[in-house]
Amino acid sequence: MAKQTDLLQGTLDMLILKTLALGPMHGWGISQRIQQVSQDVLVINQGSLYPALYRLEQQALIKSEWDKSDNNRQAKYYELTRKGRKQLTEETESWERLSAAVDRILQTT
Amino acid sequence: MFGKISDALRSLFRKDNLERDMNQELRFHVEMETRRNIERGMTPAEARFHALRDFGGVEKFKEECRDVRGGRLIESLLQDARYGARILLRNPGFTLVAVLTLALGIGANTAIFSVIYGVLMRPLPYKEGNQLVIVHQQAPLAHVNDTFFSVKEVMDYREQSQTLDAVVEHHTMSFTLLGGSEPQRVQTGVVSANFFDVLGVTPVLGRTFLPNDDDKGSDAVLVLSYKYWKESHGGDPNIVGRVFQMNNSPHTVIGVLPPIPQYPVEEDIYMPTSHCPTRASEQFMANRNARMMSVFGRLKPGVPVAQAQADLSVIASNLAKQYPDSYPANRGYAAVVAPLQEELTRRARPTLLVLLGTSGLVLLIACANVANLTLARLMRREREMAIRSALGAGRGRLVRQLLTESTMVSLAGGALGLLLAAGGLRLLVTFAARFTTRSEEIRIDGLVLLFTVLVSVVTGLVFGLVPVFSSDRNLNNSLKEGGGRTSASVSRQRTRNLLTVAQVAVSFMLLIGAGLMLRSLIKLQSVSPGFDPEKVLAMRVSPNWSKYNTTDQTRLMLQRLLDKVRSEPGVQSAALSSTYPLNQLGIVNGPFNRGFQIEGHPIPEGELAPQADFRSASPGYFETIRLPLVKGRTFEDIDNEKAPPVAVINQSTARHRWNDEDPIGRKVSFDSGKTWTTVVGIVGDVKQYGLDREPSDEIYIPLAQSGFANNLLVRTQADPMNIASLMREAVYQVDPETAIDRVQTLDHVREDAVASPRLTAILLAMFAALALVITAAGIAGVMALSVSQRTHELGVRLALGASPSRVLGMVMRQGMYYVLAGLSIGVAGALLLGRLMSALLFSVEPSDPITFLAVSAVLVAVAAVACFVPALRVTSIDPMLALRSE
């Protein structure tokens, strides 16, 4: 496994929102997806994931629904709301601005 | 934000549901992880183990999840409450005393607030009551503040006013209603047809007047007041349509009013102006100077009172210019408008505000007591607090716990206090009824409840915070044993002493207030009314006047009445008169002034004629009420209508108008010199309008010469009320259509005159006594605690050879030091605030030294006992034991 990086809370929120933008998913699935796509660089600590999900739900950025999963178990599926979609766009923009700025600084010699 | 609150509430109520959800979700996660581990090649057991381990401490992050969910605050508050309840129940003594003390304080405030809200603050139960105004006419230069209106004047103001939407008139008459079980005197409000529309009153039965009900020649109709309908007609639901005889013509009842306060007096029935015999007479309507009515109005929407005032002043000055004879310049003339709500509450305001201040102070004293008790108890809980603090509770959490407990105590006290207030409500309503017609609007309703809850919560916070602010938390010292000597407890002791000083000061002020009122009351009661009210019965007799068309017929009937009554057994003497001293009606309606001219002293141009109260009395009047004759003679039978006109004046009039000259034999005229009346006697002054008012100038003329009087006075040998029915019979035998009411003894009338200050004094005294008891209990508590805490030190002193009495003396001296400090502050405070009470006092200065001395003595004595009893324990201290204890 590649070196695992700690994630700031705000960034985790953004990643969750992005993952859900691709379609509704349950908690475990979200953590797996993030891990996969980041190629194991980012491993989500369960202790941060679920609190983050509950917080996002309270802020009405995502909503949840119980449904049958593929192995026929009851699982709680999360889905992005319109407010969440808007939030995601904003967060993505500010992340890009931030990382571009950091890049520029790192590149100056 | 609402999302958070609703979520928190949801979390609270559906806690189990959410817990289950969360568990299931986490279980799912673990299962998925396990499955994946199995796919990776682990055994099922290993897979599950790894999954759980990777997950981390489940409980810990369940807590975190729950935290995020919200709802924690309410849960922990409930937890605090449950814990607090356990603690409070384990200390029943403290809890009981605290709750009772607070119940008394909060209950008093609730009671007074309900009165104040009902009387002073609640908007009038009329439609848009704040737009209603009352208009007065004044003759400022003649010191007349309130004159009635004449018909022409009402019309002028109605037509010319630009700021008043409607102008309605009102006057009170007393008519006899026939058709019931017996002839009944009814107090009748004669009003404009749109009177009830202007007030915005809807009837509970039938209808009110229509605009053409006061047209000339319309059918005679009546509207009944709610109280009268309930009391005299048993709330008969079929009353609408019933016909009664009144003033020799049939009157039909068309409606019943709702139970609202009436202004200026409570009436029995209402009729339109067209059917009042006096009001409807052509002569009366044409005479601008025939004044009888009060005037109300409704402001046009958005018009401020000041604008209406300006408008009416313009009308007034125009009228004065147009009709100089009716508005002589030497009397002045002005029209004044005031909001109706103010008028209804004016008399009650000063008393109620004093009572509010008093009850507030009582609550403060109660708070101080409970704060002291809490401080004492807190000492024993120091270790508990220290341990909780060491386990991670923040200071805020501990404070929250204490505040929750104190609020619970105060809410319990508030609930009990509410019950107490509800119980005493009747007494308060009776009290308030003396000052305002709004007393029926006093009730314990939602707003009062809210007030109680608010006061309870604030009280709880206040006395809960006192201990918090009075000490600094030194953890180490608290955990060590022997906590009785830490700096924390020293500062607590200081707080307790300060509270005691404050309590003594406030109690002193309250006691002074009560003492002043009591002295005022005693002085009032000992005022001589100027006559002898013992064993005199009074009743108002109102024959059916329309039967007696000429003054002669009236005179004959009245004489027959007197003769009949005088012939009854048990009657020592009897008389008829137009009024009697301290008559409540006289106090309400005001003086009946008439100007007169003294022979030889023509009234100079521009000056006011001498004024006096005008009375008519039959022979025997002065003797019946034992009004002393000072000079000359009183009326006799020869002073009849054919004899020369005579008059009797009182000493006040003699003094004012004749100074040192002898008025006997001098002549006065009431009709600008056309006829002259001779003064034949001088009688003593009476307190006509109240024991605290100066006697006014009075002139009496014989009944035979005035032709009218309707109060029968009878002096008896035995208890006057015993012969009341006998008198009734006698009157009915003379004329069965006579209505008799206002039957009372003059003794009762005299008692009535001091009823208001008596009630106020009683209330204040109760509050002050309460305050004193609470303060004494507080002092005793503080002293007891101090002694028990100083056991060690006192034991040392005793062991070193001090005699028990010396130690006792020292302890008491130290205790009384604070009492005296409180006393001095109280004296200063009472001197400053005493002035606020002066409106209520009669012939007593707010700084009356006797009261101050007496109250100081009482307070010091009570405080000394409160100090002494617990301090007595000092003498029973065994030095050996004390030295060994901590």
Per-residue pLDDT tens for B644-697? Answer: 899 999 998 898 888 888 889 888 888 777 888 899 999 999 888 888 888 888
Which tens digits make up the pLDDT trace of B826-854?
A: 999 888 888 877 877 888 888 888 889 99
- Domain membership of residue B431 (yes or no) is yes
Inter-chain contact A50–B25, Cβ cutoff 8 Å?
yes
Does residue B788 sit at the A interface (CB-CB below 8 Å)? no
Say if residue B484 is in the same domain as residue B446: yes
Say if residue B428 is in the same domain as residue B321: no
Say if residue B243 is in the same domain as residue B296: yes
- Domain membership of residue A75 (yes or no) is yes
- Domain membership of residue B229 (yes or no) is yes
Of B70, B94, B118, the domain-final residue: B70
Task: Please give the residue of chain A at the shortest CA–CA distance from B30.
Answer: A28
Whole-angstrom CA distances from A85 to A70, A79, A95, B210, B818 are 26, 10, 15, 68, 70
Strands B144-147 and B269-272: unpaired
Task: Please give the residue of chain A at the shortest CA–CA distance from B27.
Answer: A75
Inter-chain contact B33–A26, Cβ cutoff 8 Å?
no
Strands B593-595 and B629-632: unpaired
pLDDT (average), residues B742-759: 84
Say if residue B570 is in the same domain as residue B549: yes
Res. B16: pLDDT tops 80: no
Which tens digits make up the pLDDT trace of B22-50?
A: 788 888 888 888 888 888 888 888 888 87
Inter-chain contact A75–B21, Cβ cutoff 8 Å?
no
- Domain membership of residue A1 (yes or no) is no
Query: How distant is the Cα of B42 from the closest Cα of chain A, in angstroms?
Result: 18
pLDDT (average), residues B95-101: 86
Say if residue B658 is in the same domain as residue B683: yes
Of B20, B39, B70, the domain-final residue: B70
Report the domain count for chain A.
1
Whole-angstrom CA distances from B292 to B71, B148, B194, B240, B285 are 69, 5, 19, 30, 11
Say if residue B517 is in the same domain as residue B561: no
The per-residue pLDDT for B221 is: 92
User: Which residues in chain A have their CB less than 8 angstroms from residue B23's CB?
Assistant: none
- Domain membership of residue B556 (yes or no) is yes
Four-CA torsion B587, B590, B595, B601, nearest 10 degrees: 50
Res. B484: pLDDT tops 50: no
Identify which of B90, B742, B684 has the alpha carbon closest to the alpha carbon of residue B381: B90
Tokens 């100038």 locate to B697
Res. B598: pLDDT tops 70: yes
Inter-chain contact A54–B65, Cβ cutoff 8 Å?
yes
Does residue A21 sit at the B interface (CB-CB below 8 Å)? no
Res. B434: pLDDT tops 90: no
Return the higher-pLDDT residue of B72 and B166.
Answer: B166
Q: Is B194 helix (H, G, I), strand (E, B) or coil?
A: coil
**Which token pair is B516?**
């002043």
Cα angle: B486, vertex B489, B494; to 5 degrees: 130
The per-residue pLDDT for A3 is: 42
Which tens digits make up the pLDDT trace of A34-91?
A: 888 888 777 777 777 888 888 888 888 889 888 888 777 888 899 999 999 998 898 8
For chain A, first and last CA: distance in Å? Answer: 32
The per-residue pLDDT for A2 is: 39
**Which token pair is B430?**
């009776």
The per-residue pLDDT for A1 is: 36
Q: State the DSSP code for B577.
A: E
The per-residue pLDDT for B483 is: 44
The per-residue pLDDT for B481 is: 43
Q: Residue B272 CA to chain centroid, in angstroms?
A: 33
Say if residue B576 is in the same domain as residue B723: yes
For B780, other C-beta atoms within 10 Å of its C-beta total 19
- Domain membership of residue A23 (yes or no) is yes
Q: Which amino acid is at B695?
A: P
Q: CATH code at A22?
A: 1.10.10.10
- Domain membership of residue B418 (yes or no) is yes
Query: Cis peptide before B264, with omega less than 30 degrees from 0?
Result: yes
d(CA B829, CA B823): 10
d(CA B809, CA B786): 14
- Domain membership of residue A16 (yes or no) is yes
Residues of the domain holding A24: 9-107
Which tens digits make up the pLDDT trace of B406-422?
A: 899 999 999 999 998 88
Say if residue B291 is in the same domain as residue B421: no
Inter-chain contact B28–A45, Cβ cutoff 8 Å?
no
Identify which of B389, B580, B494, B500 has the alpha carbon closest to the alpha carbon of residue B780: B500
Provide the pLDDT confidence category of residue B315 given band limits of 50, 70 and 90. very high
- Domain membership of residue B111 (yes or no) is no
Burial of B320 (0-12, 13-18, 19+ CB in 10 A): middle
Say if residue B702 is in the same domain as residue B554: yes
- Domain membership of residue A2 (yes or no) is no
Task: Please give the residue of chain B at the shortest CA–CA distance from A71.
Answer: B32
Which tens digits make up the pLDDT trace of B186-200?
A: 888 899 999 998 888
ipTM surpassing 0.90, yes or no?
no
Does residue B390 sit at the A interface (CB-CB below 8 Å)? no
The per-residue pLDDT for A31 is: 86
Res. B727: pLDDT tops 90: no
Q: Which of B32, B40, B50 to mutate to test the interface with A (most CBs of A within 10 A)?
A: B32
Return the higher-pLDDT residue of B109 and B291.
Answer: B109
Sheet holding A62-68, edge to edge: A25-26, A74-80, A62-68
User: Which residues in chain A have their CB less than 8 angstroms from residue B61's CB?
Assistant: 46-47, 50-51
- Domain membership of residue B353 (yes or no) is yes
The number of C-alpha atoms within 13 Å of B474 and in the hemisphere containing its C-beta is 13
Report the domain count for chain B.
4
d(CA B269, CA B188): 5
User: Which residue in the set A27, A47, A60 is minimally distant from B3, CB to CB?
Assistant: A60
Say if residue B514 is in the same domain as residue B571: no
- Domain membership of residue B827 (yes or no) is yes
3-state secondary structure string across B324-335: CCCCCCCCCCEE
d(CA B394, CA B795): 39
Phi-psi region of B71 (alpha: psi -120 to 50; beta: other; left: phi over 0): left
Task: Please give the residue of chain B at the shortest CA–CA distance from A57.
Answer: B69
- What average pLDDT does the structure give for chain A? 82
User: Which residues in chain B have their CB less than 8 angstroms from residue A47's CB?
Assistant: 56-57, 60-61, 64
Provide the pLDDT confidence category of residue B825 given band limits of 50, 70 and 90. very high
Return the higher-pLDDT residue of B241 and B182.
Answer: B241
Tell me which of B219-228, B546-555, B756-765 is least confident: B546-555
Res. B252: pLDDT tops 80: yes
Task: Please give the residue of chain B at the shortest CA–CA distance from A45.
Answer: B55
- Domain membership of residue A99 (yes or no) is yes
- Domain membership of residue B75 (yes or no) is no
Residues of the domain holding B813: 349-525+755-884
Q: State the DSSP code for B675.
A: S
